[in-house]
Amino acid sequence: MKEPILLAMLLLVGFNARPQLNNSPAGRIKQAIEAMLPEGEIIADVMEDVYSTAGAEMKVTGKLNFSIASDGKRVWFYTYGASRPAHLILDEISINLESNTVSIDSIDLTYLDEANVVDREDGLKNDRQVHSLRWLGKQSAGPRKRSYSITIRRLEHTGQTFMQIRITEITTGKRKSLLDLSLRF
């Protein structure tokens, strides 16, 4: 008699058990990354700053086809038919979901911060809630220094993701932009 009752209780508990969300900072960051970078094929708008007398704003200047893949520990990208060599940088990027680091062409970027901004109007002309993650890294080789940054933003009201990849170089005090790629998808 005890066995059927025990079995019924175990089944009831088993069907009502819910997966526990990881509320640690690393767990929240992983969940945010997975929400902002869904697996699958993507057609992204390539965005560039356009300056006018009214100020700067982001305009769509092209499209980029790529895929996002993940094995639960790492996220990486594959580009298809990239029209400009700068777009191929996506093939060199991976995000380690366990350590919250980003690698660009073998350069490790450190997680910098997470921000939630409400009622902010930016270059995308959005005045809503924005969730943002940033990573930074540096590389020095003699007098030449390179700075790498990746920012991923989720525009909550549209569900779109905005990803910006920047590489700048400083040589003898002069700053030069090597890459400034902004994607919206």
Would you write out the chain's pLDDT as a tens digit for each of its 185 residues?
556 555 555 555 554 444 445 577 778 888 889 989 999 999 999 988 776 666 667 788 889 999 999 999 999 999 987 778 788 899 999 999 999 999 998 899 999 877 665 554 555 554 556 778 899 999 888 788 999 999 998 887 788 999 999 999 998 889 999 999 999 99
Select from 46, 40, 92 the least CA-distant residue to 66.
40
Question: DSSP alpha helices (H): ranges in the chain?
Answer: 2-16, 25-36
User: Is the Cβ–Cβ distance between 148 and 136 less than 8 Å?
Assistant: yes
Q: What is the pTM of this model?
A: 0.75
Backbone φ and ψ of 91, nearest 5°: -65, -20
Residue ranges per structural domain of the chain: 22-184
Q: Could you tell me where the beta strands, DSSP code E, fall in the chain?
A: 40-52, 55-70, 74-80, 93-96, 101-104, 107-121, 127-141, 144-155, 160-171, 174-184
Please name the residues in contact with 98: beta carbons below 8 A apart, sequence gap of 6 or more: 26, 30, 73
Give yes or no for a contact between 154 and 168, defined as CB atoms under 8 angstroms apart: no
